[in-house]
Structure 1
Amino acid sequence: MLKINRQNCRTKTVRGRQGGFTLLEVLVAIAVFSMLSVSAYQVMNGVQRSDQISREHNDRLQEIQRAMVMMDNDFRQIIARKNRSQGEDPSDKLLLSSEYLLDSASMGIIFTRTGWQNPQQMFPRGENVRVGYRIVDDTLERVWFRYPDTVVGTDALVRPVLSEVTKLSFRFYSKKKWQETWNQGGALPEGIMVKMTLEDYGDIERVYMLPASALETNKKQGDS
């Protein structure tokens, strides 16, 4: 006669149930895994976004620094030199600055600078060049001529310098005080304050005191 060990069957049945998962346990596990996946994605996305913002911030700072270096090189080497524009007679305006000058959307400025080395005349320009700054489409542009004296039909060369600039203004230091405009013929101010308004960083100011050589040239021209 066949004998069945009921105790062994119950033990095997219990062990079989203990080795699997119920539907509820599976759903809970899926929910937990989904939450962990979402959290991990949010963390990774946050890290990537922070890294992108950091790179954009660094790129913007480098753009501003390059613009300031370029302006430093120009404003610190201003010279007192009369210029012929479009073949006209020499003008005694050594520096021009006014609203909408050079077709600027804000103030514009133009002057002559020296010190742009051109060894053995390798490049089609002089060491003294006519340089200006203006705002076009919220971009600071550098406008320059290869030579300080231009003939009829000479076009300026334009280089975008800094983006997101909404305003450009200047003040001029002379006789121990600052003034908003500069209209004196045959003379340069002792100092120039440049103020730019940026969309992201607000106002940036820079003060340039003119080199002694430029002021000495001024004085000699005034005495002659």
Structure 2
Amino acid sequence: MLLAAAIFALVGLASVAVLQTVSRTDELSRDSSERLTQLQHSMLMLERDFMQISVRHVRLDGEAAQKNRLFGEKFLLDSEDHGVSFTRQGWRNPGMILPRSEIQTVAYRLQDGTLQRLFTLYPDAVTGTEPKVQLLLSGLSGFELHYLQGEEWLERWQDANFPAAVRITLTDEHLGKMERILMLPDANVAAAAIGGRN
């Protein structure tokens, strides 16, 4: 009788341990799945902006237009890793209801382990205008951008033309690296398309 009670107690303890392990595994799986969804959402934001990149040059304080359409390098905009800045089109403003353009200057940087998207309401912002900051994803240890020119991936881009592609790498503290390569529209083709619409 005593032996049966001991065996029953051991089976009960083992069952509780298995149940706790399954419960913990399920919780970790849900957390990882949620984190992966957040990473994918951030990548989609980056992809959406890059796919709508504009050939428009930016002017500051009414000065001559900047030569470069895309700026990208390490520590740009006080980033802890890479940073990038460019203008994009397609910022919806139906019927021009809001007092702003459908062209938007955007930038991305990593600060305090958080991927940030910066944007201004007007593409030709006045010097001293602070951009709006949108926090996309925390818990990152890396944000890298590389630009394809010919067959070489460059770590820095400042040119009037666009690179053929951009390789984006986000490094999550728990899930590791997530990489995406985006093919960009050719600046000459994009300019011709815009000119053809006018």
TM range (shorter): 0.7 to 0.9
2:173 aligns with: 199
2:164 aligns with: 190
Identity of aligned residues (%): 34
Q: Contact 1:131–1:143 (CA<8 Å) still a contact in 2?
A: yes
1:68-83 correspondence runs (5 A):
68-83=43-58
Cα distance in 1 between the residues matched to 2:17 and 2:99: 56
1:93-108 correspondence runs (5 A):
93-108=68-83
* Count of matched residue positions in the alignment of Structure 1 and Structure 2: 192
Q: CA 1:217 to 1:44, structure 2 compared with 1: closer, same or farther past 3 Å?
A: closer
Cα distance in 2 between the residues matched to 1:72 and 1:217: 17
Give CA-to-partner distance per residue, 1:16-54, whole Å, 9 cap, x none.
xxxxxxxxx3x4444233223212211221221121112
1:152 aligns with: 127
Q: Contact 1:97–1:110 (CA<8 Å) still a contact in 2?
A: yes
Q: Contact 2:118–2:134 (CA<8 Å) still a contact in 1?
A: yes
Give CA-to-partner distance per residue, 1:148-205, whole Å, 9 cap, x none.
1101332111112222221222222234543232233x33223222222222233322
2:188 aligns with: 215
Cα distance in 2 between the residues matched to 1:124 and 1:42: 61
Q: Contact 2:73–2:155 (CA<8 Å) still a contact in 1?
A: no
Q: Which amino acid aligns with 2:170?
A: M
Q: Runs of 5+ in structure 1 lacking a partner?
A: 1-24
Q: Runs of 5+ in structure 2 lacking a partner?
A: 194-198
Superposition TM-score, scaled by structure 2 size: 0.85
By percentage of residues, which structure has more strand? 2
Superposition TM-score, scaled by structure 1 size: 0.76
Q: CA 1:39 to 1:91, structure 2 compared with 1: closer, same or farther past 3 Å?
A: same
Q: CA 1:201 to 1:124, structure 2 compared with 1: closer, same or farther past 3 Å?
A: farther
2:104 aligns with: 129
**Structure label with greater radius of gyration:** 1
